[in-house]
Structure 1
Amino acid sequence: MRRTIPSLLAAVAVAFGAPAALAGNYEGCPAEITIGTEGAYPPFNYIGDDGELKGFDVDIAKALCEEMGADCTFETQSWSGIIPGLNAKKYDAIIASMSITEKRDEKVDFTNRYYKTPARFIAAKDMDVEISESGLEGKTVGVQRATVSADFVKDKFGDVANIQTYDTQEEATLDLVSGRVDLVVADAVKLKEGFLASDQGQAFEFKGPGFSDPKWFGEGIGIAVREGEDTLRECFNKAIAGIREDGTYDKISQDNFGMNIYGG
């Protein structure tokens, strides 16, 4: 039986001690992977009271690494610098609730999606507001900079609303509470499970529909790798399919949100 080149390399690795690049459950997948994430985007990725990284993105990353048989470490990076950090080889992949968009695809390569949720606006419960050009005219909207939500709100409502950008989503919601902005727009699950579930969030609610137009929000949330890293990208794709098939994905999603957020 003829062996492929990867099979021959794997055989040599077994004979002489497997190198990191060829270890793991999947042939040819790396044995060590460094994951870049923001660490400031609860409940998807954040640093807990114990100083450890937590959240859905982190749980998914660990499950994918276990599926591949790889040892994973994490590096935190501010959102605005997270793609430059990847391309500077500070880490091997980004798992940080990053939307797959054409603009980002010019700088990195993406896996298949691992979840898909809409963006929504929130405001004070007693505010009567329509999410439209006329309804948002003169309003101040808070949004995290360098996000798909920022691109969306600037393109869609930038001519009529005042757009205030922030380094983190939490800074935006703090200004909502203090009255410095009238509304905030972000991922609906992030807002529902994070801010709206908090004590401060009890006076606020969703306004208007969800938004998921691919023009701004792409095809969902994916894992970013450096351009040309096709082997690593396909290892992640296979692992995503694997944890969905064996029920691991659903358990993680249910544990974090009480529902499956993979999306249709």
Structure 2
Amino acid sequence: MFKYMKPALAAAAVVLALSGCGNAAASSPAGQASANAPEGLTTSGKLTLCIDPEYAPLEYYANGSGGDIAGFDADAARALAKHWGVEAKFEVTTFDGLMPGLQTRRCDAIFGGLYMSQARLQVADAAPVMKAGPTIVASPANVDKFKTPLDLCGHSVAAQAASSNAARITSLKDECKQAGKDEPRLTEYPKTAETVLAVINGKSDALIETNVAAAYMASQNEGKLAVASKIFPADTTFGVFTRKNNTLTPALAQALKDLQKDGTLAKIATDNKLEASIVDVG
């Protein structure tokens, strides 16, 4: 928040500059940093975030194809920017372009449904924001076939390219071999929407997705998709990623704790049809 008052006309200009569905971040005038803004922002007065708006209910286009970006991550990113008194700016990229976008300074952070995997933490820092885990989505006729991970052996499984979910199916191949079963056949797609179509169209027997997104997928495809519950443990942490050893890293972690303490993140979760308990900032 601003630590000093502006004249009325300047304040009005700031209000008019707010972006996004009435839930945008407060921002400083162009080129002027807020007194609360942390060090390390690529552009003064702006928090720039790499995001792939193809992952409802975390980040997606409100009208389906463009315009305002909605979802838990988008709303939480705006709240984070507002907490610092800067403007939230989204740099849209594909899922597999998120980390390269961060490393090449297209953005200050990734607030976009990325797991805090060991591989990612070797090249970037991250602050925890949500606890989740993978699950399986299949047609209602087939969903009861999947009760344990080994039930995926011999089946075709769709996953988003370069995701931890895809890696989980790859690692399952050895377990299937050891159990004397056929390997799962993994097909990776650039977008989560394509994994849904793969199951609906019969190209894949199932898709693997985080439980955060799986329920939304099923609700949007009632009668065509169903969720197989409790196949994998909810042992995965989503993080907000920053560049390795960046001065922004500790400030971002503290800001998330502040937003959890004051109830902001819990409200954003429930507003996006998620359980408030899913928020976990460590």
Cα pair distance change 1:205/1:213, threshold 3 Å: closer
State whether structure 2 residue 225 is matched by structure 1 residue 211. Answer: no
Q: Which residue of 1 aligns with 2:132?
A: 117
Which of 227, 244, 251 is the matching residue for 1:227? 244
TM-score, structure 2 as length reference: 0.78
What's the offset of the Cα at 1:237? 0.9
Cα pair distance change 1:57/1:210, threshold 3 Å: farther
TM-score, structure 1 as length reference: 0.82
What code does the residue aligned with 1:173 have?
V
Structure 2 segments unaligned to the other structure (5+ residues): 1-28, 177-182
- Partners of 2:186 and 2:147 in 1: how far apart? 14
Q: Which residue of 2 aligns with 1:149?
A: 165
Summarize the alignment of residues 1-264 of structure 1 with structure 2, pairs less than 5 Å apart: 23-25=34-36, 28=39, 30=41, 31-49=45-63, 51-111=67-127, 113-127=128-142, 128-132=144-148, 135-157=151-173, 160-193=183-216, 195-198=217-220, 200-212=221-233, 217=236, 220-229=237-246, 231-260=247-276, 261-263=278-280
Cα root mean square deviation, aligned:
2.4
- Partners of 2:215 and 2:105 in 1: how far apart? 34
**Aligned residues of 2:33 and 2:86 also touching (Cα < 8 A):** no
- Partners of 1:145 and 1:168 in 2: how far apart? 8
What code does the residue aligned with 2:130 have?
Y
CA deviation map 1:13-46 (0-9, x unaligned): xxxxx99796332665753221110111111111
- Partners of 2:149 and 2:214 in 1: how far apart? 23
**Aligned residues of 1:37 and 1:77 also touching (Cα < 8 A):** yes
**Aligned residues of 2:149 and 2:231 also touching (Cα < 8 A):** no
- Partners of 2:39 and 2:274 in 1: how far apart? 35
Runs of 4+ in structure 1 off by over 6 angstroms are 18-22
Equivalent residue pairs, number: 239
Match of 2:151, SS?
A: coil
- Partners of 1:185 and 1:97 in 2: how far apart? 15
- Partners of 2:163 and 2:38 in 1: how far apart? 35
- Partners of 2:85 and 2:224 in 1: how far apart? 45
CA deviation map 1:104-149 (0-9, x unaligned): 11111112x1111111001122224134465323210111111111
What code does the residue aligned with 1:103 have?
A
Cα pair distance change 1:27/1:154, threshold 3 Å: closer
| Identical pairs, percent | 23
What code does the residue aligned with 1:181 have?
S
**Aligned residues of 1:22 and 1:28 also touching (Cα < 8 A):** no
What's the offset of the Cα at 1:86? 1.0
Match of 1:135, SS?
A: helix
Structure 1 segments unaligned to the other structure (5+ residues): 1-17
- Partners of 1:213 and 1:146 in 2: how far apart? 20
What code does the residue aligned with 1:34 have?
T
CA deviation map 1:204-244 (0-9, x unaligned): 22225242476xx4xx1111111121x21111111101111
What code does the residue aligned with 1:232 have?
L
What code does the residue aligned with 1:54 have?
A
